[in-house]
Amino acid sequence: MAGLAADLDEVYRIVDELDRAVGGARQLGNAARSDGWPDLGVYLVLEPGEQRRRGRGQRIVRVGTHALKAGAKSTLWGRLSQHRGRGPAGGSHRSSVFRKHVGGALLAHDGPQPGTEQWGVGGSAPREVRSRERAHEVRVNAVIGAMTVLWLDIDDEPGPDSERGSVERNLIALLAAAHRDGLERPSHQWLGLHAPSPAIGSSGLWNVNHTDRPYDPAVVEALEDYAAYTAGR
């Protein structure tokens, strides 16, 4: 555990430095395309009320990236905007697994809501189904919109072997291992504890993939390098 604890502390040291260098994490609900996002990157989500057990500050509750297929054209901002939704117009949980997880946890916590009978079913839905789900999509917007995000500028070629994919996978695995070993814990009030997927509650992350795999300690050095690049150092 000593190695994991040291790696975890180093990750948060780097993240704290990145936070200061970029002027602070951005609140997703107030973020805009014009905020100067890199085209390609990895994002780190922090959540109000979720404090670190080791050290000060908020803990990371989700790690993500995009463009992991060869030739993919998606951008970092495009992915984040899918997650946070579009205010009164709602959003689409079928284009964002993050939204699906949050919406499912809300339903488990608060009980069934009108129009949500097909929440999470399929990759698409007729207009009338999406219209009935809009009120719940807006509830999801409120939860995700209150979260903040930091980012790493990792401008490599889209594809399954990208550095972005490696950093995402190994950071998720490291953070999930720290949760399993008791180094970090979510608060008792964390909404993710109600998520239908057991991987979320057991990892303390709004992630499912990569939460049960071993991590490569080299991710810590990679994180430091990309954080320095993002900060312009």
Q: pLDDT in tens for each of the 233 residues of the chain?
A: 569 999 999 999 999 999 999 999 999 999 999 999 999 999 999 999 999 998 889 999 999 999 999 999 999 999 999 999 987 778 999 999 999 999 999 999 999 999 999 999 999 999 999 999 999 999 999 999 999 999 999 999 999 899 999 999 999 999 999 999 999 999 999 999 999 999 999 999 999 999 999 999 999 999 999 999 999 96
Beta sheet of 41-51, edge-to-edge order: 26-27, 148-153, 41-51, 58-64
Q: For the segment 72-93, what is each residue's pLDDT rounded down to a tens digit?
A: 999 999 999 999 998 777 899 9
Q: For the segment 28-52, what is each residue's pLDDT rounded down to a tens digit?
A: 999 999 999 999 999 999 999 999 9
Helix (H) or strand (E) holding 133, with range, is helix 127-145
- What pTM was estimated for this model as a whole? 0.96
Give the pLDDT of residue 214.
97
Distance CA 21, CA 34 (A): 19
Phi-psi category of residue 23: left, alpha or beta, with phi > 0 → left and psi -120 to 50 → alpha:
left
Helix (H) or strand (E) holding 63, with range, is strand 58-64
Q: Helix 97-110 and helix 76-84: axis angle, to 10°?
A: 20
Give the pLDDT of residue 1.
54
Copy the structure tokens of residue 31: 């973020």
DSSP assignments along 21-45, one per residue: HTTSPEEGGG--GGGT--SSEEEEE
